[in-house]
């Protein structure tokens, strides 16, 4: 399970050193990077990515909303091998598209982790941390 958050700096080639705690959870030498929500990248190991694919395959391609979601999510996927020292080389185009600069935070989210530009994460957290009690209350009502 991926949890916790770790601040890192990308090197000049756009490589992220995967936090050692997260590396222990990754059984393969490749990760699947795709569109995340609120401006981040979602990074999946193979097992979790297969579950994401199954979910997308369960949607109705004949439904316009489902079809749009499927297309946008799957078209964003980049399969990236982890190098022999545990770095994830992120494509420059991907970093630019998501506004990710040198300073990032890596956030564990159960079956995958997210890569956020640090400034974007700080803003997201500021906007939402005060709502945590309300969110928890709503989730309890589900």
pLDDT in tens, 43-99: 999 999 999 999 999 999 999 999 999 999 999 999 999 999 999 999 999 999 999
pTM of the model: 0.93
More confident residue, 111 or 135: 111
pLDDT in tens, 85-96: 999 999 999 999
The mean pLDDT of 13-32, rounded to a whole number, is: 96
Mean pLDDT across the chain = 96
pLDDT of residue 142: 55
Contacting residues for 121 by C-beta, under 8 A, at least 6 apart: 40, 105, 107
3 has a pLDDT exceeding 60:
yes
Give 77-104 as a DSSP string: -EEEE--TTSEEE--HHHHHHTT--SEE
pLDDT of residue 141: 66
Q: Please state, in angstroms and rounded to a whole number, the distance separating the CA atoms of residues 100 and 139.
A: 31
pLDDT of residue 140: 83
Sheet holding 41-44, edge to edge: 5-9, 103-109, 112-117, 41-44, 30-35, 78-81
pLDDT of residue 20: 95
14 has a pLDDT exceeding 80:
yes
Distance of CA 14 to the CA centre of its chain: 16
- Please, what are the domains in the chain? 5-140 (3.40.1550.20)
């Amino acid at each position: 399970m991926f949890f916790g958050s770790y601040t890192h700096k990308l090197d000049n080639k756009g490589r992220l050193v995967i936090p050692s705690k997260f590396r222990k959870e990754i059984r393969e030498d490749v990760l699947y990077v795709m569109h995340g929500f609120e401006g981040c990248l979602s990074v999946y190991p193979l097992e979790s990515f297969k579950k994401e694919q199954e979910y997308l395959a369960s949607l109705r391609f004949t439904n316009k909303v489902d079809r749009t979601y499927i297309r946008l999510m799957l078209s964003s996927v980049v399969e990236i091998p982890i190098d022999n020292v545990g770095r994830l080389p992120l494509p420059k185009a991907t970093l630019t598209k998501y506004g990710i600069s040198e300073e990032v935070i890596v956030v564990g989210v159960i079956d995958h982790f997210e890569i956020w530009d640090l400034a974007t994460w700080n803003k997201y957290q500021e906007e939402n941390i005060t709502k945590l009690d309300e969110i928890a209350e709503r989730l309890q009502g589900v």
